[in-house]
A and B are shown apart, each in its own frame.
Chain A
């Protein structure tokens, strides 16, 4: 009886993925504790978030990919409509219109698109799998462009990048012609000055401070300067858990959310960074393995987009904290404190597990 229950629970759980995510979660919990214990401890809250996330993951993993596909269109449409609502009646917080007030709570529709975007595109390519024409890529591009533009307009560059990248991975892996890709790169490069003029002042400032953070040491350069000091002073072995002076004297802003990597890096040093990056690499490798062995085009595209999205998160976040990318609001997966964003990550993990564990059933 007990044995059967255990089998039932473990049936759609991918061991390696759970192990890797578990390692990241432990590291994340310890870091959140260090970052907040002397002011407003968030470790318990994060533990709760993680438990909710694991439940969501488990639940999603029970659904076979065919069922997941049915959510593609409604979820995508819901997301886009909500984004339009944000655009029209959104609540402005700190100069950005990202939230939709439901009276009792506020929601951030762009989070839905993180999963709805690849889901929609994977469904779309799967639908026309046998007869993919160039126009399908055009349509896919439009499906991607609309929510991307709405999110970027909010402005929320971080989420826009995550959503845009997730969609782009699907289009690329679905077989976007190389020539088109090359043409896009050329066009993008030549349009860069034009895009520059369209950016918000604060976004331009962030890019400029990236080139030389010292031009605005107390303004927008402050984040980058303080986080690079934290990382650099951490050295090879780090200052030890709870020992980071940059962290505990509050020099690192957003230290339990977007800049948690600075805290980790200051206290764990280069060695910690290597271990952490190795864990993320394993996560991505496991995801791509699942994608490579997935039976249908939908599950292949979905799994690979998710795996590569993990990469997007990690690279953009670590790049920003270590000062080689502009500051955009992208959390470090399974490490940064946060509710919604964490649940979306576990949801993605659940989809991966679903694809992996329902593989045999499909083949049968």
Chain B
């Protein structure tokens, strides 16, 4: 039975209140869960989230140090830094790159080559790095962009330090250049344990001294602790660790001498290495043609790169270190020295030269038809008699030649403070075994030794090896490692670290033997093949001309005019001066220059004239008529 209506209502009310209590219980349960969550976040994991918040808030902004300055031996600046504004785009922050660049072009001049360079860098880099679309903005351009800045999110004007090479193309092969860091460079940085120090650095040395002394020049990156907002914008600085500038390099190089030498080459291809024989310091390191390293600093433009890369003259090739050439007759003084040291010849011993040397039915010809007649060591060098050296090579044997020449540094890297030097080829039976794969090619034939004697055959040396050998001879057999950096100045303490103090080795040559060779080389410049070039010099000098065959002539006589330019012989000259107390020793090579006496010796004369007498040349070195064939 049902109760009264009032009771019904009461029981309805009770039911409602019960359900409401159930709901309230649910509410309480959920709130307890929330409280538990708050307790977990704010008490249990408080430390963790505090760290997270700090990580969010604080960013370490690297401060890039000033790169070290490079000066020549007289303090002339070769590489320095200047500050300029660049307009940079961070691709990852830009929605539509094309329209952004288009829009920028309406505010600031953006040339097609700027775009091409930007595209090139875009391919090579990660999208969160900011890349320059324009460099060296004028103040007016900076102001114009600032007014339009809101239109270009992800585009910024940045003040950056730029590398500048005030001497332009002079000494570029020695200095090298810096460029944008690539993934391969990152591996180098990683290997040298410098990753932390390179945060924020986007350029590094790519070649030459800039590359070799990268970690001296770079300096120590400073850091600024900045508070940032979620957009990564810096709000304020919290602390600052100042960067330490890179160390400065002072070179042994004399940039004036370098410039004169480069000019002396005119438009000819070639190389010259001039060394101070008493310590191995390089006074001039020339490879022509040169290039302007300033082109590389903010990323080389594609058209400039194509021009450099596709030129038949290969301006990017450092011929002094990477070109390997047969030394030709410049090899003869070293052969003669070897003969004396090994007792294979005495200075006065003569041979009779009929104009050729017959070996196993093959005729090795002398340049001079009919021969030089009776020839002793002095005459063999002064008049560059081939037959003397055919015989000598045959008597000495390839192993003796290779051993002695090896001790003078031929066929191995000199260790100059620039990376990527070539080894050249010091021919020997062992070398042949390594060089060739097929068995019949691996055998050394006695006939092959003959042409080695006059610096031909498999002989191939870099100009710097030749220069080092001449310098060692000039220095009476005490050998130094050729080097460009005289000392490094620590940017903090000002302390100087000298690069070379100890000789590499002493060949322990007999003084009278050295004297014999030197006397003969003086003869070359007074009465021999170099006499024309050194006529009237106000100092005594010693030299040796050389001509290296590019094209193998089979029994024909060499006629310059008949051959194409790139098949003409290379002209060589080695020399040192003054003859009794040498201050400078050098090796010159003019590619396809013809006779050494004609093309190479006059360049050496200019170098000596300036270095010893301070005489400035009027123009490129003239070609002088050869006094006689070499």
A71 at the interface (CB under 8 A from B): no
B551 at the interface (CB under 8 A from A): no
Among the 9-residue stretches A84-92, A244-252, A351-359, the one with 4 or more Cβ atoms under 8 Å from chain B is A244-252
Indicate if the CB atoms of B31 and A169 lie closer than 8 Å. Answer: no
Interface members, chain B 31-87 (any A CB < 8 Å): 31, 33-35, 37-39, 41-43, 45-46, 48-50, 52-53, 56-57
A270-B49 contact, Cβ under 8 Å, with A292-B20, A304-B20: no
B186 at the interface (CB under 8 A from A): no
B15 at the interface (CB under 8 A from A): yes
Q: Using Cβ atoms and an 8 Å threshold, which residues of chain B touch A281?
A: 27, 31
B348 at the interface (CB under 8 A from A): no
A284 at the interface (CB under 8 A from B): yes
Instruction: Report B201-241 CB contacts with A as 1/0, cut-off 8 Å.
Output: 00000000000000000000000000111110001000000
For B227, give the chain A residue with the smallest CB separation. A249
A300-B16 contact, Cβ under 8 Å, with A233-B46, A249-B228, A251-B56: yes
Indicate if the CB atoms of B48 and A232 lie closer than 8 Å. Answer: yes
A236 at the interface (CB under 8 A from B): yes
Whole-angstrom distance from the CB of A310 to the nearest CB of chain B?
9
A159 at the interface (CB under 8 A from B): no
Q: Using Cβ atoms and an 8 Å threshold, which residues of chain B touch A274?
A: 35
Indicate if the CB atoms of B19 and A315 lie closer than 8 Å. Answer: no
Whole-angstrom distance from the CB of B82 to the nearest CB of chain A?
35
Interface members, chain A 245-269 (any B CB < 8 Å): 245-246, 249-251, 265, 269
B17 at the interface (CB under 8 A from A): yes
A37 at the interface (CB under 8 A from B): no
B24 at the interface (CB under 8 A from A): yes
For A175, give the chain B residue with the smallest CB separation. B15
Summarize A's interface: helix, strand, loop or mixed.
Answer: helix
Whole-angstrom distance from the CB of A79 to the nearest CB of chain B?
25
Interface members, chain A 226-248 (any B CB < 8 Å): 226, 228-236, 245-246
Give the CA-CA distance A281 to B35 in the complex, in Å.
12
Q: Using Cβ atoms and an 8 Å threshold, which residues of chain A touch B52?
A: 229, 232-233
Interface size on A, residues (CB 8 A): 43
Indicate if the CB atoms of B46 and A308 lie closer than 8 Å. Answer: no
A273 at the interface (CB under 8 A from B): yes
Q: Using Cβ atoms and an 8 Å threshold, which residues of chain A touch B49?
A: 228-229, 231-233
Which of B20, B56, B227 interacts with A288 by CB under 8 Å? B20
A319-B34 contact, Cβ under 8 Å, with A249-B57, A249-B230: yes
A10 at the interface (CB under 8 A from B): no
For A303, give the chain B residue with the smallest CB separation. B20
A277-B31 contact, Cβ under 8 Å, with A233-B46, A249-B235, A250-B229: yes
Interface centre among A226, A229, A270, A280 (most CB of B within 10 A): A229
Q: Using Cβ atoms and an 8 Å threshold, which residues of chain B touch A300?
A: 16
B143 at the interface (CB under 8 A from A): no
Whole-angstrom distance from the CB of A137 to the nearest CB of chain B?
14
Whole-angstrom distance from the CB of A23 to the nearest CB of chain B?
17
For B30, give the chain A residue with the smallest CB separation. A315
B23 at the interface (CB under 8 A from A): yes
A318 at the interface (CB under 8 A from B): yes
Q: Using Cβ atoms and an 8 Å threshold, which residues of chain A touch B41?
A: 228, 231-232, 322
For A305, give the chain B residue with the smallest CB separation. B23
Which of B19, B227, B228, B229 interacts with A173 by CB under 8 Å? B19
Indicate if the CB atoms of B23 and A169 lie closer than 8 Å. Answer: yes
For B5, give the chain A residue with the smallest CB separation. A130
Give the CA-CA distance A316 to B45 in the complex, in Å.
22
A235-B30 contact, Cβ under 8 Å, with A173-B23, A245-B57, A270-B43: no
Which of A175, A291, A311 interacts with B27 by CB under 8 Å? A311
For A273, give the chain B residue with the smallest CB separation. B38
Indicate if the CB atoms of A308 and B23 lie closer than 8 Å. Answer: yes
Indicate if the CB atoms of A322 and B38 lie closer than 8 Å. Answer: yes
Q: Using Cβ atoms and an 8 Å threshold, which residues of chain A touch B48?
A: 232
Indicate if the CB atoms of B39 and A270 lie closer than 8 Å. Answer: yes
A231-B24 contact, Cβ under 8 Å, with A251-B230, A315-B31, A324-B37: no
The 17 listed contacts between A and B (C-beta, < 8 Å) are: A172-B19, A173-B19, A231-B41, A232-B45, A232-B50, A233-B50, A235-B43, A245-B227, A246-B53, A246-B56, A249-B228, A265-B38, A270-B42, A270-B43, A297-B12, A322-B34, A322-B37
* A-B CB proximity, top 6 nearest: A232-B49, A233-B53, A232-B41, A249-B229, A270-B42, A233-B49
Task: List 7 additional A-B contacts (Cβ < 8 Å) besides A236-B46, A274-B35, A315-B27.
Answer: A175-B15, A226-B56, A232-B53, A245-B56, A250-B229, A251-B229, A315-B31
